Copies of this chain bind each other. A is one copy, B any other.
Amino acid sequence: MNKTQAIDAFLSQVNFNADGLVTTIAQDIDSGEVLMLAWQNAESLRQTLEKGEMVYFSRSRQRLWHKGESSGHTQTLHDIMIDCDGDAVLAKVSQRAGIACHTGRKSCFYRQFCQQKGIVDNASVLKDPKSIY
């Protein structure tokens, strides 16, 4: 089986939703930290496997989104899995510059439930977004 056939075989197991999309979790391969959740269509998942870098589908812009294309904060793919029913993807990645979030934080999941305050930020901004974009 060559790589194109392997990608086809993998893609055939993905259950894309009515919009042709699947949810994808990006997890830091070293720390295990969950960095972000985004969406992929078949073409972005294919490009991800071909390039070895994460390519998502931007629902707001309705186009392929090569993560890092404007920030430089690309994600190198190491391993990629689908779940039991094929409607979610888990990608283990190395995050360039250690910043996945457009707010300049490592992870997008920085807004934490707090019994005293409702919601609190649990991570600091590593780089001012104004200097990223």
A70-121 CB contacts (< 8 Å) to partner B: 79-86, 88, 90, 101-103, 105, 108-119
The dominant DSSP class at the A interface is: mixed
* Distance of A103 Cα from B85 Cα, bound (Å): 10
A109:B122 contact, CB within 8 angstroms: no
Q: How many residues of A contact B (CB 8 A)?
A: 46
Q: Mark A1-14, 1 if CB is under 8 A from B, else 0.
A: 10101111110010
Q: Is A27 part of the contact surface with B, judged by Cβ < 8 Å? A: yes
Contacts of A116 in B (CB 8 A): 1, 6
* 7 shortest interchain CB distances as A-B pairs: A9-B118, A32-B32, A83-B108, A37-B88, A81-B109, A90-B109, A6-B118
